[in-house]
Amino acid sequence: LSHPSMCVWMIDTFGNEEQRRRFCPSLCSMEKFASYCLTEPGSGSDAASLLTSAQRKGDTYVLNGSKAFISGGGDTDVYVVMCRTGGPGPKGISCLVLEKGMPGLSFGKKEKKVGWNSQPTRAVIFEDCVVPVGNRLGAEGQGFNIAMQGLNGGRINIASCSLGAAHASVLLAQEHLTVRKQFGEPLANNQYLQFRLAEMATRLVAARLMVRNAARALQDGREDAAVLCSMAKLFATDECFGICNQALQMHGGYGYLKDYAVQQFVRDIRVHQILEGTNEVMRMIVARNLLQG
């Protein structure tokens, strides 16, 4: 639900009354789903260099280009697309809302991923795709700002997904240590494993508090909200992946079997360190804020 909620927030925040009335009810009720389309084959972390173009022709834009690694691509109903309507750099980017079925909109093959297999990932392709000007969110040139503001909430969402997986992994590890016996006694009697479990629970609580702090700052419109969202996403996704991985280790060979849920948490949340801006980019955002502040 991370990407659909991010998209509906963008439409609700930057769209006009007609756009909100047209898209938000069905997206909020989950009758329809949306995909966030920023990443391209040649521009991942360097999003401002995107090449997908939208040429104005009367009351329409003609869209050409492609997006890569789009969550829900081909299955979702609405596509919030960042495209170039002006010159190079972030000020030349605008945001258009497309609907599945528009002529010229197509999709690549379903990607074979390590995890996150409940949600399809595909390329989204635009070939002379005609989009009404009325489907543009905000003004021309405002798209990059819209995309970045959407990512603030998206980073909270992804961090929250990691918290859920880590919490479940702590519970699984707790249960396994209690019921599994080695050398004639439960693993729970092993002090080393007790310490590791305590560390996992402590890191989980710290990550949860950090995410909630960032969410509160974003909700309150604080000036430091964007950097706090980056910090929370960085810390929570790194720590929670470590928690899940440690839980798998505690299960021994059983943890590597698909019959045991802990392996799925490890596979599913590894990508959280990449989604919504890689954790290397999060570090760059935090460092830039500190050095320019």
Is-catalytic flag, 127? Answer: no
Based on its alpha-carbon atoms, the radius of gyration of the chain, rounded to whole angstroms, reads: 21
Q: What angle do CA 150, 231, 81 make, to 5 degrees?
A: 20
Q: How many CA atoms lie within 13 A of 74 on its CB side?
A: 15
Return the closest-CA partner of residue 122 out of 106, 98, 138.
Answer: 106
Q: Is 183 helix (H, G, I), strand (E, B) or coil?
A: coil
Handedness of CA 98, 279, 200, 178 (dihedral sign): positive
| Gap between the Cα atoms of 190 and 195, Å rounded | 9
Q: What angle do CA 57, 67, 17 make, to 5 degrees?
A: 55
| Gap between the Cα atoms of 247 and 262, Å rounded | 7
- Helices H / strands E in the chain, number of each: 7, 10
| Gap between the Cα atoms of 30 and 24, Å rounded | 10
| Gap between the Cα atoms of 250 and 223, Å rounded | 42
| Gap between the Cα atoms of 206 and 167, Å rounded | 12
Q: What does the block give as tokens for 56?
A: 């104005």
Catalytic residue among 31, 199, 239, 276: 276
Q: What does the block give as tokens for 28?
A: 């909020």
Q: Which residues are catalytic?
A: 276
